[in-house]
Structure 1
Amino acid sequence: MLSKKRLLICLTALLTTGYANAQTPNIDPNMGIIPAPVSVLKQVGTFILSQETSIQADSVNNKAVQFLSSYLQNKFALKNKLQAYKGISVSNAIVLTSTGTENLPAEGYRLTIEPQRITVAGKGAGLFYGVQSLIQLLPIERAATAKIPCARIEDYPRFGYRGMHLDVCRHFFTVEFVKRYLDLMAAYKLNTFHWHLTDDQGWRIEIKKYPRLTSVGSQRAQTLIGNYHDRMPQQFDGMPYGGFYTQDQIRDVVAYAQSKYITVVPEIEMPGHAMAALAAYPELSCDTKLDYKVAETWGVFNNIFCPTEKTFGFLQDVLTEVIDLFPSKYIHIGGDEAPKVVWKSSAEAQAIIKRLKLKDEHGLQSYFIQRMEKFVNSKGRSIIGWDEILEGGLAPNATVMSWRGEAGGIAAAKQNHNVIMTPSSAGYYFDHSQARSDLEPLGIGGFAPLAKTYAYNPQSSAIPAAQQKYVLGVQANLWTEYITTENKVEYMIMPRMMALSEVAWTPLANKNYTDFAETRIPKHLAWADANKFNYRVPTAIGAKDTAYNAQQLTVDLKVPVNGAKIYYSIDGYDPNETNDIYTHPFTLNIPSDQYRELKTIVITPTGKRSLITRTVVTNHTPMPAVSFSGTTPGVKYELVAGSFTETGQLDGARVLDTGITKTFNTAAFKKANRTFGVTYTGYFNVDADGKYIFSTQSDDGSVIYIDDTMVVDNDGKHSLYEQPGEVLLQKGMHKFTLKYFEAGAFSTLRVYLTMPGKPKGEFSAANMVN
C-alpha cells in the first residue's frame, strides 16, 4: 500500500509531465490514436517489437506492408524480415492480412495486439490505415525494442471523403514539400488532396497545347506586402515570383499520393479567378484591348473568361490534358467569386444570354458550368464546384463544396446533390488565425481555433434525414495569400489537421475534446517535434487569457506537448527560460483590493514557443453604486479621426462628431471614415448584487471600463475576436465606458453581458441612460 507521501509524489509527477499512460483506461481510452477509433478494447500484456520480429503478409509487395517495413527501418533502424503469411499461428510476428475482413466497412481495419503477435487485418486502404494506427502506438524515442500495449481495435471511417486543400497559386511549393504534406495527411487517415492549381496570381500546371500558360501565366512581377485590407496605399516587394509543375512532376505527385491511398483532385478555376490565363491568352476575355497581367495582389477581380466558343474550346483542351494526368473521379472547376460586371457590358455575353433565353448573368454562369460539366462527364468524370455554382441553377451531376457557411451544402443536399462541407465560418479555413490575429503570424483574418474545428458536425440538422447520405464528407482549406514558407504551412495546419481527421473519421459518440486536446495531442505534437515538423505550440493546458475576481489564484497546469516545459512569472514581466519552471499545482492568496497576474509560456525540446497567456485575478470588494440621476435614453459617443493601434490613442485625437446613440453598431461611422475611433459613455442599472461578465467581440480593438475600472481588455489591432472580463457590482447605477477603434478593414463591434442567474445576451446601448 502506498504511503500518503509517496502517493502525493506520484500524483505530482503525473501533473508535472502531463503524460498519459496508454494502458490506463480512465486516462486514455483511445490509446493515443488520432483519429479516435470506433472501438478499443484494452487487454493485459504487451507485445515487444525487436529486430527478431518478422513481418508476415499475404503479399510482401503490398503498399501497406512496404510502408511499415520502411518506417521501422528508417525510424527505428529495425531490419525486420519480410515473409509470406501461410495462415498458420506464428510468434514474434506482425501479420498483415485480408483474412476475416469480409464484414468490415470500406477502409476499415482490425488491429489485434497480443503478447506473441500483432495482426493487422484489412483490405487496400483499410490495411494501410491499420498500419498507421499501429505506428501511432510506437514510442517516439528510437530504441532496440518497443513495447506495444495489448488491445483489440476495430475501426472504419464515418465519411468516405476526408480532404485537405492546398493553394499553390498565391505561393508556390515544391514537389518535395507537397509529398511531405501528403505524408501528414496519410498519417491521419485523410484520403483526398484538393490541389488548387490555377488562379489570378499564377497558373501552376503545364499544359502542352498552351505553353504561354506557364511561360507567362506562372510568373508575376511582384507581390503585395502585408495584409491588403490594412495598407493604403498598397506596397509591393518588387521581386518577380513564379513556379509551376511539369506534367512529369504532376504524375510523380499523383503516384506518390496513390501509394498512400490519397486521391488527388485538381482544381482548374472558371469562369472567374482567370487573370493568369488571360495574361497568357487575352483573346479569352470579353475585352481584348485591355492589358492583362498576372495579379500581384489578392481579392476578387472583374476580369473573367468570356463565355465564347473560343473559351470553351480552350478549357476543353486544358481539361483533356488535366484528366489524362489525374485519375480521380472528380475534377474541381471552381465556379466561385465570378463577378458579372464584364458580362453585363459585353455584347458577346449579352448575345449569348438572348440567344439561349437565359434569365440573366447568373443564368449565363449556370450555362457555363453545365456546359463544362457535360464535357467532363463525357470523359467519365464528375465535377466539383464551390457553392456559387448553385446560383442560376445547379448543374445536373455536380457535387457542391460548401464554403460560405453551410447554406450552400444544405440547399444542394435537399436537391439530392452530393455535398462536401468546408465552411469557413466553422473553422475549416486553416488560413484563419488560431488565436487573436495580432498575436499570430500575418494572415487574412478570421478566427479558427482548434476547439472550433473539432466541434463541427458536417451533417447539419437542417438537412432532412433522407438527404443526410448526400454529405460525402468534410475538407479543410489552406489558402496561401499570406503563407510564403513551408514552415508557415505546417504551422497553420498542425494541430488543426488532427481535429479535421477526427471530425472526418470518428463516430460522433466517440468524440471527446478533453481527451483529444489534453491527452492525445501532447503525444502527437511531441512526435512532430522529434520529426522536425513545424506546428503551432498550444498554450499550457489550464492557462487562459482572462480576468476575474477571487481571493485566490489557483494554478493547475499540464504541458500541451510531451517533453515541453512551462515557464511562468507573477511579477508582470513576460516569462522565458530564465523564469521558474512549473512543476506542480500551487495557490496564491490575494490580499483585499490587490491583484495577481500569472503569465505562462510553453517551450518545447526543440525550442518552439507558445503564445504567452495572461491571467489577472483581482480580490476586489463589490463596486458600490454611483450617484447618477440622468434619464436620457442611450449613450454619448465621441467619434475621432486617426489610424490607431490601441484604444489609449483615442484620447486627445481630433474629434469628428459627438452625439447620443442607442446602438453600438458602427456601420454609420464606417461609411464616411475608413479608420476611426469612438468612445461611448453612459450609465446602466444593476438590479441585484453579484458577478457580471462583460465581453466585446470586435474587429479591431475594444475595451470596457465599469466605474472607470478596466473590465474587458480586447485591445490591439486584430481581426474579429471576443474577450470577456468579470466584475462584482452592487445594486444600483454604474458608469459604463466603451472604447473602440477601426483600423481599416471590417468594422464589427458587439457587446455582451451575463448577469447572475441569466444566460449571456447582447448588451444594448438602448437600455442605458446618460
Structure 2
Amino acid sequence: MGAITANPWLTCFPDAREYKVRNLWGVEDDVFCAGKESTFEFIENVLEEVIPLFPSEYVHIGGDECPKDRWKVCPNCQKRIKEEGLKDEHELQSYVIRRAEKMLAKHGKKLIGWDEILEGGLAPSATVMSWRGEDGGIQSANMGHDVIMTPGSGGLYIDHYQGDPKIEPVAIGGYAPLEKTYSYNPIPEAIDSAKRHHIKGAQTNLWAEYLYTADIMQYRAFPREIALAEAVWTPLEKKNFKDFTRRLDNAYVRLDKHGANYHIPLPEQPLPEVAANAKPEERTASLSFIAFTDKADLTLTTTRPIRIVYTTDGSEPTAKSATYTRPLSIDKSQVIKVASALPSGKLSPVRAITFEKQTFSPAIDPKDLKPGLKTKTAVGHYYRASDLATTTEWTEGVALKPEDLKPDKVKNHMDEIQPKAVVGEGYIKIPADGVYVFSTDLDQMWLDGELFIDNSGETPKFSRHDKSRALKAGWHKVCLIFIGAVRGGFPTYWDGCAVAFRNIKDGKFTNVTADMLAH
C-alpha cells in the first residue's frame, strides 16, 4: 500500500480515491493493476534494485492475500485475461507470478511464494511456502516443486497464544503451545514417498502486529524456535516431548546467558466443566478476581509439567515458596500469588489472584421498563472512557443488545467513518442467584453502580479482565461503554462488543441477549 500511496497509477483506478498507507491491520482491496505493462516495469525496477543487496539465491515475493475485486471490474485486467487466454482472475495472479519468476531468473534467483501462488497454476521453478494448512505443500511436492512447510494449524505460527489468552500478552489469536510446535511432522504421509525430498524444511512465522517490544518478540519466539529445530531435525519415531522439556531446562540457562527473554508457562485455571472433545485452548479461562459466598477452590495447571509456587500472605513468591500440589481451599478474602519455577530458580511472571467473600448483591425492582439500553453517543476522537468526562454534546438512542453499541465497521482507514464513543445504560436481568463471571471486549462495564471490568487503553481484541460477582436473581444496574479508537493497529470497531457470562460453576459462556436488557 505504501507503493500505491506514492504511485497511484499502479492501481486499477488511480482516481477512485485518495490512497493512504493503512493505519490499521487488515488486507487492502486496492492492489497493483495486472493489466498495465507499466506495473511490470515498476516491479522489475524494484527487483533489480533490491537483488544486489541480498546474496541468497532465493527471493520471497509473497503472492498472498491479493483480493480480486478490483481486477474483476478493471478493463485493463479483463483485457489481459482475454489476450493471454486466461480462465479467470486466479490465473491472472499466476500470470503475474510467472512474469516475476522470469525477472528473477535473469539474475540467477529463484522464487519463493506463499501457497496462494498455486491458484491458477504454479510457476515452473517456484518454491511454495505452505501456510494455510498442509494441503498446498502436499499438492506442490507431489507436483515436483520444492516446499517449505509453515502451517498455522501445525503450531508454526508463533504469534499465536502459547497459553491461556486470559492471562497471556495480547496476540492475534490461535493457540500454539510448545508441545504442538514440537510435535509437528514436516513430511505428511500424503506426500508420495518418491517426492518427499521436495520438503526442504519448516519455518515458524512471527508476525509483528502485536509485538510492541523486543521482549514480547523474544517471549513469543523462545522456546518455540528451539522446539521447531528439534521438530525438523529429529526423526518422527525418536521424538520425545518429556525428554525435550527436561533438556529445555538447560537451554533456558543458555538463553539467560544471552540475555534473551522467553516464555515460562503461567499457572492457569481450568474451567470446571468442559466437553470431552474440547480443544486445549477451550479448557481454561483464568480469573484474577474470584467472588465467592461460602468457600472457593483454586485449581492450577500449566501447559507442560512445571513446578508451581505460591504465597497466601500477599508477599511475592520465590523459588523457596510453598509448592502447589493440590487445589487450595479458600474461606476468607485474600490475595494468592502464584508463579511457575524453573529448576534454575527463575520464575514466570507472578499472577495475583484476588479472592473476595461477598454477600449477594441485591436485585432492584425498576418500573415501566422498555427494551434495550438507553444510549448516548458522542462524536469525536476518544481513547479512554475517562475522556468522556467533559463531553457535553450527546445524541440519544437505544441499543437492544450489547453488540448494537458498536457503530459502523471500519474497513481500510479511520477517516472512512465518523469516530464515536457510545454509552449504554439500563438494567441487566440475572436468571438465578449465583456467582457469575462476565467477559467483554468493550472498554468498560459498570455493574450495580461500580466499575466492574476495565479494558481502558488496551488492545481489547480478547478480553483479559474477566471478573466475577455474587448476584441475586433479578434486575441490576448496568452501564456499558464503547470507545471507537485504534490501539496498537487494531480498531475497536472490529471487536464483537458482546457481553458474555457464565455461572462460576459452569464452563460455558453465553452472550447477554436482548431479553436480558431494559431501561
- Measured against the shorter chain, the TM-score band is 0.5 to 0.7
Letter in 2 for 1:356: E
1:668 matched to 2:407 = yes
Distance in 2, matches of 1:751 and 1:457, equals 36
In structure 2, the residue corresponding to 1:704 is in which secondary structure? strand
Indicate the residue corresponding to 1:684 in structure 2: 429
Shift of residue 738 of structure 1? 3.0
Indicate the residue corresponding to 1:336 in structure 2: 64
Equivalent of residue 428 in structure 1, options 127, 136, 157: 157
Distance in 1, matches of 2:507 and 2:73, equals 52
Indicate the residue corresponding to 2:291 in structure 1: 549
Alignment of 1:297-308 (within 5 A): 307=37
Cα gap change, 1:710/1:433 in structure 2, threshold over 3 Å: closer, same or farther? Answer: farther
Letter in 1 for 2:172: G
1:659 matched to 2:386 = no
Distance in 2, matches of 1:754 and 1:565, equals 27
Question: For residues 393-416 of structure 1, what are the alpha-carbon distances to aligned partners after superposition, in whole Å with 9 as ceiling and x for unaligned?
Answer: 55467554355x54xx54675786
Letter in 2 for 1:718: T
Equivalent of residue 446 in structure 1, options 172, 175, 189: 172
With CA pairs under 8 Å and 6+ residues apart, which has the higher RCO, 1 or 2?
A: 2
CA contact (8 A) 1:694 1:751 kept: yes
Alignment of 1:235-246 (within 5 A): none
In structure 2, the residue corresponding to 1:476 is in which secondary structure? coil
Letter in 1 for 2:407: A
In structure 1, the residue corresponding to 2:358 is in which secondary structure? coil
Distance in 2, matches of 1:689 and 1:365, equals 59
Cα gap change, 1:731/1:481 in structure 2, threshold over 3 Å: closer, same or farther? Answer: closer
Cα gap change, 1:503/1:750 in structure 2, threshold over 3 Å: closer, same or farther? Answer: farther
Structure having the higher Rg: 1
Question: For residues 105-136 of structure 1, what are the alpha-carbon distances to aligned partners after superposition, in whole Å with 9 as ceiling and x for unaligned?
Answer: xxxxxxxxxxxxxxxxxxxxxxxxxxxxxxxx
Shift of residue 354 of structure 1? 4.3
In structure 1, the residue corresponding to 2:359 is in which secondary structure? coil
Letter in 1 for 2:499: V
Q: Could you tell me the TM-score, scaled by structure 2's length?
A: 0.63
Distance in 2, matches of 1:740 and 1:427, equals 34
Cα gap change, 1:414/1:674 in structure 2, threshold over 3 Å: closer, same or farther? Answer: farther
1:716 matched to 2:457 = yes
Equivalent of residue 356 in structure 1, options 76, 84, 92: 84
Gaps of 5+ in 1: 1-199, 201-272, 289-294
Letter in 1 for 2:513: A
Alignment of 1:749-768 (within 5 A): 749-755=497-503, 760-768=508-516
In structure 2, the residue corresponding to 1:497 is in which secondary structure? helix
Shift of residue 386 of structure 1? 1.9
Distance in 2, matches of 1:488 and 1:756, equals 32
Distance in 1, matches of 2:409 and 2:47, equals 45
Shift of residue 307 of structure 1? 4.8
Distance in 2, matches of 1:581 and 1:606, equals 9
Alignment of 1:219-618 (within 5 A): 307=37, 325-326=55-56, 332-337=60-65, 352-358=80-86, 362-373=90-101, 383-395=111-123, 398-403=126-131, 406=133, 410=135, 413=138, 420-423=149-152, 428-430=157-159, 446-447=172-173, 451=177, 454=180, 466=190, 474-479=202-207, 490-501=218-229, 522-529=249-256, 531-536=257-262, 538=264, 541=267, 546-550=288-292, 551=295, 583-585=321-323, 591=332, 595-598=333-336, 611=349, 613-618=351-356
CA RMSD of aligned residues (A): 5.9
Indicate the residue corresponding to 2:275 in structure 1: none
CA contact (8 A) 1:600 1:612 kept: yes
Distance in 2, matches of 1:537 and 1:758, equals 30
CA contact (8 A) 1:601 1:609 kept: yes
Q: Could you tell me the TM-score, scaled by structure 1's length?
A: 0.45
CA contact (8 A) 1:336 1:389 kept: yes
Shift of residue 730 of structure 1? 3.9
CA contact (8 A) 1:635 1:765 kept: no
In structure 2, the residue corresponding to 1:694 is in which secondary structure? strand
Gaps of 5+ in 2: 15-20, 270-285, 411-416
Q: Percent identity?
A: 25
In structure 1, the residue corresponding to 2:399 is in which secondary structure? strand
CA contact (8 A) 2:291 2:355 kept: yes
Shift of residue 664 of structure 1? 1.0
Indicate the residue corresponding to 2:273 in structure 1: none
Equivalent of residue 695 in structure 1, options 415, 432, 439: 439
CA contact (8 A) 2:181 2:224 kept: no
CA contact (8 A) 1:684 1:736 kept: no
